[in-house]
Chains A and B, each alone.
Chain A
């Protein structure tokens, strides 16, 4: 008996030792690999450095398309791209909890959390010493990259173009070209005009391609509530896009936007649309897939959405030969007294950008990579693709191959497969007004390109209205003030702060109650709206406004725009 027991103990001991040994083995192996990595760089061999890159807006993709190969060739960097699975916004907190960071992080609004946790490094010195391309890119706007008044360091190199001149709008109401044509290209400036056009066409054609016509469809069942329900209300009210806020450009005073009267007016109109059967009854329950497939059938007359959210539907419509069922943007406002702010110049937005992690073993390579991405050579590559493969130079000007342009227009996956245009966002980026050393536009979206890219029915409509571009329909950029605080959506809000918690509460209330109010009987609308205002007040909306005002003013102080 005793013998057996000791044998058993021996076995257990051996087992435990083996386990422990295995553990050691693996960690040894890991550091061995790292060592070889380092030494290969030191030797200056051709082996590219692999940098891990997490992008909050990323998708599954390997870094092996033609453009990516060129980038690796020029910088010696191979990117291993990671992305949040299933649109999950816990990725950054989980990363912090685990304490393991990728080399490069595009965290969007969560950058503040990374700074709090010490997960990212300050870039000021590196920019000063070796960031010539970045310095040239940001110029005097570089202050906008700074973190806060209390900690005015630079932790990230910003997303979004510097020096922008909008050529397209996005996020406003959009109407089918066919509706405009059928109704003889009417003037549509106000909600009233818009509704009249929709209902007139709906009466004429209750069915399209054998399925019932849907005059207006929204996608309010998930976070897209914000872009298809919340933001269009702000545009109609003549406010620029500051997320959930309306901010006075002179004083920097911020107001949680849904308490304003303009919003009551807008949603009352939407409630009326619903009562008259002009709003898709599935607007708040359908999934994104259902929504896109509905739009792709061509039976939805109008939407209020961002172009990037409905790109798949546009490609499908063009592919099915229904170019006339694609959408044109509308400068619709509540009434004539409002000015549509779609072309507003927010300045360089700052706020969001790519940071380098504190645990990265390749911080310098990562920085040099980001700096190279801001260079002229890189910007032409990411915008236009590879010379001879995607574009050619004719008489000193870049011309995209027809085939490539057509694919970019119609094939939703082409950009991802070829890399053309795929690496512009969220890297440092020249804006639409920027030119290269030959005086040519760096981005593909110059005026000529936009005009060339217009579809035939689009050209007809523009000609009928006597315009060159759709933006000619909107109040011009120089009529609007330049924003002194960029865009509120890019503010970094301290995690776990009252501001964040109360805003989450307020957003939960508004998303629910406004949805309820839209779908309610019109007689009940005002009562429901008043209840919502009361609920917002109870949730502390006044404190919220006050804290946001303070934050806005500190941003203005940091940027020197106060």
Chain B
């Protein structure tokens, strides 16, 4: 209580005092609320600490981007070089190609994996034969556990000149001569996206499927009484009911658009398609840490974080506008 009184007496004019008083009473209620929730706060404390230690303190490392960092000099023993590494980065034509490829493959991957997962969940949801449904679901998410190294080998073998896909296409007469798919830069994004869809559809569908399970069956019964076909029920009941789930998941993944990793591109790519296959992380690996340029690598990391934040804000603002489950 003594604290509040001191703030009041320090104030100058009457109006100011009045405002201080409201602030003080606000503060009082804030403390009151805090005390009433002390159990909850105590329980969340370890997680907040975790967040601070593992997510916020490492951000101090960003300082590296403004130094010529060499590990043997320790953290503060390096020369400060200002924005040199960012200038280097933005003067590098390969970087912009990598950015374009990253966003291109990121958007394609996001759109097609989401569409495929929703469609798959819808179809599965309509299935009436329970055992078959469970089996399909299990089999469909198995590829999620297969490593990209193996997936890449499967894909290159399937698509090689003497592989089964070329064999099939030539034998039914669609192609006269086999195509070397892996040597066509124009097809690279498509191949990566298809592989990703194959790998992730079943897994991603689980969450949509769970959301569909929570829809009130009365809605369907009412629709049936009104004479809605199954397609109509899907369109007017199932999809609108999981709309907020779809949008929240989309916002979360849009933030990660630029973090698509490099495994797929590195494993599936080759010199012929490199123009379409180089992505930011691969670039950071080859020209950053691979050359021992920690500072340059950090600059790339900062750039990526900034892009991610902007993307999330845009997506969230969009969700706010259409009045749907936004993230914050």
Task: Give the Cβ gap from A33 to chain B, nearest Cβ, in Å.
Answer: 27
Residue-wise, chain A 86-108 has the 8 Å CB interface mask toward B (1 for contact) of 10011001101101000000000
Cα distance, A118 to B285, chains bound together (Å): 23
Cα distance, A117 to B45, chains bound together (Å): 39
**Cβ < 8 Å to A, chain B residues 138-168:** 149, 153, 156-157, 160-161
B183 contacts A495, C-beta separation under 8 Å: no
Residues in chain A near residue B171, CB distance under 8 A: none
Main SS of chain B's interface residues? helix
From B116-124, B254-262, B268-276, B299-307, give the one contacting chain A.
B268-276
Residue of B182, B286, B291, B296 with most chain A CB atoms under a 10 A cut-off: B291
A225 contacts B271, C-beta separation under 8 Å: yes
**Cβ < 8 Å to B, chain A residues 70-90:** 86, 89-90
**Cβ < 8 Å to A, chain B residues 4-18:** none
A96 contacts B180, C-beta separation under 8 Å: no
Cα distance, A320 to B161, chains bound together (Å): 26
Residues in chain B near residue A500, CB distance under 8 A: 291
Instruction: Across the interface, name the chain B residue whose C-beta is closest to A117.
Output: B72
Interface residue from B42, B183, B270, B291 paired with A5 (Cβ < 8 Å):
B42
> With A284-B270, A501-B287, A504-B286 in contact, do A8 and B42 touch (Cβ < 8 Å)?
yes
> With A90-B285, A519-B183 in contact, do A512 and B71 touch (Cβ < 8 Å)?
no
> With A221-B270, A287-B156, A505-B94 in contact, do A282 and B292 touch (Cβ < 8 Å)?
no
B271 contacts A221, C-beta separation under 8 Å: yes
Instruction: Across the interface, name the chain A residue whose C-beta is closest to B162.
Output: A282
Instruction: Across the interface, name the chain B residue whose C-beta is closest to A229.
Output: B271
> With A9-B42, A290-B160, A505-B94 in contact, do A93 and B70 touch (Cβ < 8 Å)?
no
Instruction: Across the interface, name the chain B residue whose C-beta is closest to A507.
Output: B286
**Cβ < 8 Å to B, chain A residues 116-154:** 116-118
Residues in chain A near residue B42, CB distance under 8 A: 5, 8-9, 12
Residues in chain A near residue B1, CB distance under 8 A: none
B272 contacts A117, C-beta separation under 8 Å: no
Residues in chain B near residue A118, CB distance under 8 A: 72
- A113 contacts the other chain (Cβ, under 8 Å)? yes
B270 contacts A285, C-beta separation under 8 Å: yes
Residue of A89, A94, A222, A512 with most chain B CB atoms under a 10 A cut-off: A512
Main SS of chain A's interface residues? helix
**Cβ < 8 Å to A, chain B residues 249-298:** 270-272, 274-275, 285-287, 289-294, 296
Task: Give the Cβ gap from B50 to chain A, nearest Cβ, in Å.
Answer: 13
- A511 contacts the other chain (Cβ, under 8 Å)? yes
A284 contacts B291, C-beta separation under 8 Å: no
Residues in chain B near residue A501, CB distance under 8 A: 287, 291, 293
Residue-wise, chain A 362-374 has the 8 Å CB interface mask toward B (1 for contact) of 0000000000000
Residues in chain B near residue A519, CB distance under 8 A: 183, 272
Task: Give the Cβ gap from A41 to chain B, nearest Cβ, in Å.
Answer: 29
> With A225-B271, A287-B153, A519-B272 in contact, do A508 and B289 touch (Cβ < 8 Å)?
no
Instruction: Across the interface, name the chain B residue whose C-beta is closest to A221.
Output: B270
21 of the cross-chain contacts (CB-CB < 8 Å) are A5-B38, A5-B42, A8-B39, A12-B46, A89-B290, A90-B290, A94-B289, A113-B292, A116-B292, A118-B72, A221-B270, A281-B161, A285-B156, A285-B180, A285-B270, A495-B292, A496-B291, A496-B292, A496-B293, A501-B291, A508-B94
Known contacts A97-B71, A222-B270, A508-B274, then 18 further A-B pairs from the complex at CB < 8 Å, ordered by chain A residue = A8-B39, A12-B46, A86-B149, A93-B292, A96-B292, A97-B294, A117-B71, A220-B271, A221-B270, A281-B180, A281-B183, A285-B182, A285-B183, A285-B270, A290-B157, A496-B291, A496-B293, A512-B274
Interface residues of A (CB under 8 A from B): 4-5, 8-9, 12, 86, 89-90, 93-94, 96-97, 99, 113, 116-118, 220-222, 225, 281-282, 284-287, 289-290, 495-496, 500-501, 504-505, 508, 511-512, 515-516, 519
